[in-house]
């Protein structure tokens, strides 16, 4: 396959991945793991980092292989590359982060079915050079990780009054500094840590992004119209 699109700047790639084309908040993809594993910020961080690693390396490999692939075999090759990387991540987490691996469970192998990874492979990595493709995977993964951690943090704080609970156990002792009790002797709010609470908080996050995007667009429009009005005056 030959590249068909011009390569965007790294700043554009970063903005798309983290905000404008965010996997969860803009594309509404990967919502199943997003809602399933974000009972705590620690779980969200672990899942996000695993997904980011797969997206970055798969983007790099697919960009390197794109000249060898025909349209008839590209999708099976993409899936094979992603599945291989997910298997390696799954085995690595089971070996070195076993407690986190046990908590995330089936959702680590299910990274293979994440539409965002295959979608970026098809729409970007297969049409761009290796370095931009890897950077795109990194930024898309980081954007997804930020949503995972943000949603997990909100659910954890509201639900149990803690933040990054179990970080040293799940992520290793060096991450113990993350574990914080924000509200001592908090009775908890069960709804926040249950799936309905995840849906509600995600809805508020989606609404907040839409509102902020509208305000930024309106501010940019006013800023653009001001010089035009001055020049005509």
DSSP codes joined into one string, 176-223: GGG-EESSTT----HHHHSHHHHHHHHHHHHHHHHHHHHHHHHHHHHH
Report pLDDT for 228.
57
Q: How far apart are CA 15 and CA 35, in angstroms?
A: 24
Report pLDDT for 71.
85
Q: How long is the chain? A: 233
| This prediction's pTM | 0.90
Percent of the chain topping pLDDT 70: 94
Dump pLDDT digits (tens) for 205-222: 999 999 999 999 998 888
**Mean pLDDT value across residues 129-158:** 96
Report pLDDT for 115.
87
* Cβ count near 199 (within 10 Å): 11
Cα angle, residue 65 at apex, residues 59 and 67 outer, rounded to 5°: 125
Q: Which two tokens stand for residue 218?
A: 């309106």
């Amino acid at each position: 396959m030959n590249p068909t699109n011009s390569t965007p700047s790294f700043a554009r790639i970063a903005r798309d991945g983290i905000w404008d084309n965010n996997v969860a908040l803009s594309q509404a993809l990967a919502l199943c793991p997003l809602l399933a594993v974000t009972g705590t910020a620690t779980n969200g961080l672990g899942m996000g980092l695993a997904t980011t690693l797969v997206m970055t390396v798969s983007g790099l490999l697919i960009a390197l292989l794109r000249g060898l692939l025909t349209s008839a075999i590209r999708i099976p090759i993409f899936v094979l590359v992603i599945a291989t990387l997910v298997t390696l991540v799954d085995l690595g987490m089971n070996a070195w982060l076993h407690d986190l691996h046990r908590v995330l469970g089936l959702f680590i192998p299910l990274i293979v079915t994440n539409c965002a990874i295959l979608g970026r492979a098809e729409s970007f990595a297969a049409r761009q050079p290796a370095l931009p493709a890897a950077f795109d995977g990194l930024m898309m993964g980081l954007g997804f990780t930020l949503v995972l951690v943000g949603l997990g943090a909100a659910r954890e704080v509201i639900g149990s009054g803690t933040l990054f609970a179990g970080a040293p156990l799940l992520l290793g002792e060096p991450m113990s500094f993350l574990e914080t009790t924000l509200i001592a002797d908090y009775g908890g709010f069960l709804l926040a840590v249950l799936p309905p609470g995840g849906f509600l908080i995600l809805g508020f996050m989606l609404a907040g992004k839409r509102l902020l995007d509208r305000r930024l667009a309106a501010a940019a429009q006013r800023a653009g119209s001001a010089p035009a009005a001055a020049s005509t005056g």
